[in-house]
A = this chain, B = another copy of it.
């Protein structure tokens, strides 16, 4: 099928760029050194490609992602890198033989894990981003509480998200180092084999973690593109030009097909003016015509993908595969 036959807006990924990204990461962080984060793409077909590249443990952000990965036969070692107060659905997966580990950062989340039937946890440590994670000096206490409930404590995790967006590489490395000093100190209090951290922006800077939780590298977005990483922009939202005025044009992507928290998307060869629910208004450098197709590059991959039902894989302008975005919802 040619891309002109796709109903727009359509989520598309360049197969060559995706293959390059997967291969580049697998060379840098082979096998279990990478625990790909499925939240970035919510697609078991893409996860299967990562598993084929050697990464068989995965990171998830929601219970639904854990369930979907398990249902797809990718449940050997799933880390829910997030806190939950109701772990019963996770416990059901454990009962069914899947490998599920959940993050805990409080006595309440320890209790929820134990009550829900999860058997393995990591202690989530705050390494500088004000979000989840216990104070590093409390990590040993949380681990003790978990062991007291019969849980296996596999180690620690700590996400240096505040480092991801630092454009200067040396500054970014410094933030990673400070963060990981906190995580390593917590790890000494906790024990276990796992020090899980990192992301696409720090995948080669974080040498303290035993495994890196990167996900965005596979499809990429314009925010990460600013960091000069070796990953190519694979993802776009394909749109149709539906209206042309003297100084602007409008295509049929919009707020419901693009994650907007990192700002407006980019259209190569044009200046984006603003987005509406089902429209992007843009000024093309050269003329466009009604019916033309344009590729809209999202600023943030994760909340973009979450709006779409499927991802079309492209070889040039040919659609060579279509993958379900099957890990949406909660």
Instruction: Name A residues whose Cβ lies closer than 8 Å to a Cβ of B.
Output: 7-10, 39, 61-63, 82-86, 105-106, 108-109, 126, 130-133, 135, 161, 240, 242-245, 247-248, 250, 252, 255-257, 259-261, 273, 275-279, 281, 289-291, 300, 302-303, 306-309, 329-330
Contacts of A330 in B (CB 8 A): 7-10, 257
Q: List 8 A-B contacts (CB under 8 A).
A: A7-B63, A8-B330, A108-B289, A109-B290, A131-B281, A132-B243, A256-B303, A260-B260
B260 pairs with A303, CB closer than 8 A: yes
A261 pairs with B250, CB closer than 8 A: no
The residue in A255, A261, A278, A279 that gathers the most chain B C-beta atoms within 10 A of its C-beta is A261
Question: A184 vs B131: C-alpha distance in the bound complex, in angstroms?
Answer: 53
A243 pairs with B83, CB closer than 8 A: yes
Question: A245 vs B136: C-alpha distance in the bound complex, in angstroms?
Answer: 12
User: A275-B261, A278-B61 are contacts. A290–B106 as well, Cβ < 8 Å?
Assistant: yes
Contact of A302 among B82, B84, B277 (CB under 8 A): B277
B245 pairs with A85, CB closer than 8 A: no
Contacts of A130 in B (CB 8 A): 245, 247-248, 273, 281
The residue in A106, A135, A242, A279 that gathers the most chain B C-beta atoms within 10 A of its C-beta is A242
Contacts of A133 in B (CB 8 A): 243
Contacts of A243 in B (CB 8 A): 83, 105-106, 109, 131-133
